[in-house]
Amino acid sequence: MKRAWLIVVAFGAALLAGCGGGGGGGGDRTVSDFVYTTDWVAGSSGPTGRSQRLSLVDSNGIVRWETVINREVDGLQAQPLASVPTGDFRLVAQLYSERDAAGVQTGLLTASVEVAPKGAFQTAVGAPPASLRVQPSSLALQPPASARLVATPLAADQRPVFVAPDSLGWSSSAPAVATVDEDGIVQALAAGEARIEARHIPTGVSASAPVVVSPSSAERTKWTILVFLNGANDLAEFSVKDMNEMERAAQNPQVRVVVQWKVDPSYLSSGGFRGTRRYLIKPDSSSSIRSELVQDLGERVDMGRATTLRDFVQWGMQNYPADRFGLIVWNHGNGWLRSATAAASRAISYDDLTGNAIQVWQLGSALQGGRFDFIAWDASLMQMLEVAYEVRGVTDFVVGSQESPPGDGYPYEAVLRRFRDDPDAPTGTLVRSFVDAMLEEPAYANRKITQSVLRTSALAEVARAVDVLGAALAANASQLGATMARVRSTTQAYSPSDYRHFYDLLGVARNLEDAAGVPAIVAAAGDVRRAVQAAVAYERHNAQSPGSNGVSIDLTPKDRWSASALADYRRLQLGADTRWDEWLAVAP
């Protein structure tokens, strides 16, 4: 695990300048005479240590300053702090058992502080908490906003004191009105009043703050497009780029783009916030992120879980009502398939900070209850029948790539421009912008680019045809060794490897018609070809991916299946509803 707080360098004039719309959080001016004093032996009944790591965190969640103080005396130790930025911050002080922030973390203290010239702050080590102070003392919110409360333990003499990590708990008196998580982040849900309480669990000492939630004023618009933007991995730099592209296209208030964005700043060359946030995209043409920070969800959100996607979708649809909805899932993708090694299991939305990913067979339940006009996969290899069939009941169109596209993904300014300029156009017309933007992006001219739009209303017929074809192939498997070798060698494949055998489905059907020689197979393959042609609403590819027709399928030989992979395939709806899995189990 990486440590909870790290030194983060600001994005200069980029991300830091406007990465939350929250304002405040410290100015650029620094002071050299702010004094931090700690009493190392204020008592013996609280946690003790030999060093402290001090961090100043601004309102955007960015660590603006950090240092380590070692214990040099037994008692009061005054430490002038050099080059400390002025402004309002959350002070996070971590107590360690050894010098130089080594050993184990024994204590934690958080407080809201104002850093000003000739200011001072004093803490105590070892004293038990006699009370708690919650800041701010009250909150006024409107759904879907959030705010953070900070609980500071105080000794009997009112000096802030360290307590054991994770020894503070939070609760809400009215969770239907406002909830609070373990980091003190309060989420407004519905009009009403609630009291948020912080409690030091070992001693029972507590304090609370009232929260008044006013009614939501969300207006219904023509479009709300939800973007599940998982940058907690090696794609983090591209997530910043894509946020900027979305801002450049956001000039029509009838087309709202709402993003849940997680970032691991260790992947960013210039640093950034650590955690997960929800933004309402606002128009901006600069290199800064100036969208409205609606909610800060903290560091504990796992973007590799289907329940996280479900929560975002439900929240977005409730708080940003619209005539039509779109969903974009942004991250790495691996089609329907787990990776070859269980430790790096990946289907889509891989979260490096947790090691988890959303499996394709989880998508139906994750999106159940929502209804989308389109779902787009900004990820590799996701335009498979196995994937589209899984979400056919919750969307009209599925957009994605059979190939592994560049890490930059969709050129969002070009994609969203068509929605911005003509939001009343039919959905089938608007979603072509995903395809056209990828194929017309100059930087992608020499990359493998495929994009297509699938009609989900036609997928049941594709599955029926695939079922019949799978049965015919399985019945004649012993005669098909040479035939399948020719089919695979003449059909477009996508990122082939020892464990990935994804082929263009229309190409498979055509080549079986030409090469199988078994009447039942030839007839069934023709039905698949016609069904696929009806299901593909729009498709384009460049010269780097010839033979692409809009949707791929797994054609793994029987001797390439791992012990668990075929069992996983049968967890898919396509595996349950067709006999394609029976064919894969015997396919030469």
Q: Which domains does the chain have, with CATH numbers?
A: 1-127 (2.60.40), 131-154+164-217 (2.60.40.1080), 221-456 (3.40.50), 461-584 (no CATH)
pLDDT above 50: residue 50: yes
SS3 299: coil
Q: What is d(CA 144, CA 500) in angstroms, rounded to the nearest whole number?
A: 42
The token pair at 567 is: 């069992």
Residue 367 CA to residue 372 CA, distance in Å, equals 9
SS3 394: coil
The DSSP string of 308-329 is HHHHHHHHHHHHS-EEEEEEEE
Look at residue 276 and tell me whether its pLDDT is greater than 60.
Answer: yes
Q: Residue 73 pLDDT > 60, yes or no?
A: yes
Q: What angle do CA 390, 392, 398 make, to 5 degrees?
A: 100
The DSSP symbol for 445 reads T
Kind and range of the H or E element at 475? helix 459-475
What pTM, to 2 d.p., does this model score? 0.86
- Per DSSP bridges, beta strands 395-400 and 450-455 are antiparallel
What's the pLDDT tens digit per position in 118-139?
A: 889 999 999 999 999 999 999 9
pLDDT grade for 34, boundaries at 50, 70 and 90: confident
Nearest to 26 by CA among 83, 104, 68, 74: 83
d(CA 506, CA 332): 25
Strands (E), 542-585: 552-554
Between CA 363 and CA 307 the distance in angstroms is 10
Whether 588 and 480 have beta carbons less than 8 Å apart is answered as yes
Average pLDDT over residues 263-282: 84
CA dihedral 455, 459, 465, 468 (to 10 degrees): 160
Q: For residue range 141-162, what is the model confidence (pLDDT) as tens digits? A: 999 999 999 999 999 999 999 9
pLDDT of residue 317 exceeding 60: yes
> For the residues 181-194, what does the mean pLDDT come to?
95
Name, of 7-21, 197-211, 276-290, 361-375, the range with top average pLDDT: 197-211
Distance CA 261, CA 258 (A): 10
Residue 307 CB coordination number (10 Å) = 12
Give pairs for 577-580: CB < 8 Å, separation 24+: 577/389, 577/463, 577/467, 578/463, 578/464, 578/466, 578/467, 578/470, 579/467, 579/470, 579/471, 579/474, 580/466, 580/467, 580/469, 580/470, 580/553, 580/554
Among candidate residues 309, 321, 323, 247, the one with its CA nearest the CA of residue 276: 309
User: What number is the average pLDDT over the span 164-192?
Assistant: 96
Average pLDDT, the chain: 91
- Higher-pLDDT residue of 273 and 405 is 405
Check residue 433 and give its pLDDT: 98
Highest mean pLDDT among 79-83, 253-257, 263-267, 275-279: 253-257
- What is the per-residue pLDDT for 217? 87
560 DSSP 8-state letter: G
Does 27 have pLDDT greater than 60? no
| pLDDT above 80 for 366 | yes
Of 274 and 52, more confident = 52
The answer to whether the Cα torsion of 138, 85, 299, 326 is positive or negative is: positive
Task: Yes or no: say if 425 and 223 are a contact pair by the CB < 8 Å rule.
Answer: no
pLDDT digits over 77-95, tens only? 998 888 888 899 999 999 9
Task: Measure the CA–CA gap between 324 and 254, rounded to whole angstroms.
Answer: 11
Q: For the CA atoms of 179, 185, 186, 188, what is the dihedral angle to 10 degrees?
A: -90
What are the pLDDT digits (tens) for 444-459?
999 999 999 999 999 9
